[in-house]
Amino acid sequence: MDDAITIRGLRKAYGGRAAVDGLDLDIRTGEVFALLGPNGAGKTTTVEIAEGFRSRDAGEVRVLGTDPEGAGRSWRNQIGIVTQTSAGLDLLTPREALASTAKVYSDPRDVDEVIAAVGLADKADTRIVGLSGGQRRRLDVGLGIVGGPELIFLDEPTTGFDPQARRDFWTLIRALADQGTTILLTTHYLDEAEELADRVGVIAAGRLLVLDTPAALGGRGTSEATVTWEEDGIRRSMRTATPTAEVARLAARMPGGEVPGLTVTRPSLEDSYLTLIAPHITDDTTEVAS
């Protein structure tokens, strides 16, 4: 199957300063892909070019087989964009906003199903002005998916969500992915990328630094592990490339074979990410993760 998004040699400068500087990226059909990178890395610029909302200076971009620059309505019907769409719809209810958005599409989802999927059944007939920030974001997701898109763009979707709302949102995204929807997500939450993404791409200074699965990013899957345990009332730890063998050795010398306080950890996705981007942090990229 063709890739959902193909980007080759993408360039975009603002006032002579490169924001995207020769980016190559392929997003496979049906995958959840997380685009990570520090503030100012070029994520939004790249995504908005793929959405057809910004022009480019150079490079090839194909989204669902079409160049988004100047693409028509039938192409737009196939993509869903989750952004702060509900802003400005204050006097409507979520049901009204979803129903009127659904009318724009040729084959929309059922409005009640969307309301249930985004967890707004209790608020479906409340004016949007009376929704909390997190509830508005759920509605934004609903507005992004009501058209039944093949490809969804999610830009920092869970900013401002409480922990339960984030979990609920992840369940919703996984359900969409299971139905075969391709999802391009930008996020500063590394746990979100780890939870949702099949692959992650890290960009800095407008270039792709690395592309891998969350489990393998930056070699974290094969890097040394830290084993910690308690012995003689002291907390001990060791770094090792063979943690399974070390744990077996520890277990053999402990009474009953149980190692008190045992943990085995490898670098987190955040550790690997911060190591990868450290050489690329400039004055423009002070906030690297939230």
Ligand X SMILES: Nc1ncnc2c1ncn2[C@@H]1O[C@H](COP(=O)(O)OP(=O)(O)OP(=O)(O)O)[C@@H](O)[C@H]1O
Least distance between ligand X and beta carbon 37 (Å): 5
Q: Does 19 bind ligand X (CB under 6 A)?
A: yes
What residues between 157 and 216 interact with ligand X by CB under 6 A?
A: none
Place of tokens 């998004």: 5
Distance CA 20, CA 17 (A): 9
- Report which DSSP code applies to 92: S
How far, in Å, are 16, 106, 178, 197 from residue 78 at the CA level?
34, 10, 17, 21
Among 5, 27, 36, 41, interactor with ligand X by CB under 6 A: 41
Q: Does 40 bind ligand X (CB under 6 A)?
A: yes
Distance CA 157, CA 233 (A): 45
Q: Does 42 bind ligand X (CB under 6 A)?
A: yes
Site string for ligand X, 228-267 (x = CB under 6 A): ----------------------------------------
Q: Does 284 bind ligand X (CB under 6 A)?
A: yes
Least distance between ligand X and beta carbon 199 (Å): 18
Least distance between ligand X and beta carbon 23 (Å): 11
Token pair of 130 as six digits: 């009376």
* Complex with ligand X: residue 142 or 206, whichever CB lies closer: 206
* Complex with ligand X: residue 11 or 127, whichever CB lies closer: 11
Q: Does 44 bind ligand X (CB under 6 A)?
A: yes
Work out the number of other CB atoms within 10 angstroms of the CB of residue 73: 9
Size of site (CB under 6 A) for ligand X: 11
Work out the number of other CB atoms within 10 angstroms of the CB of residue 200: 26
* Complex with ligand X: residue 46 or 101, whichever CB lies closer: 46
Alpha helices in 154-216 (DSSP H): 163-178, 190-196
Q: Which amino acid is at 2?
A: D
Angle subtended at Cα 206 by Cα 201 and Cα 208, rounded to the nearest 5 degrees:
30
Distance CA 73, CA 178 (A): 26
Least distance between ligand X and beta carbon 34 (Å): 13
Q: Does 45 bind ligand X (CB under 6 A)?
A: yes
| Interaction site with ligand X (CB under 6 A) | 14, 19, 37, 39-45, 284
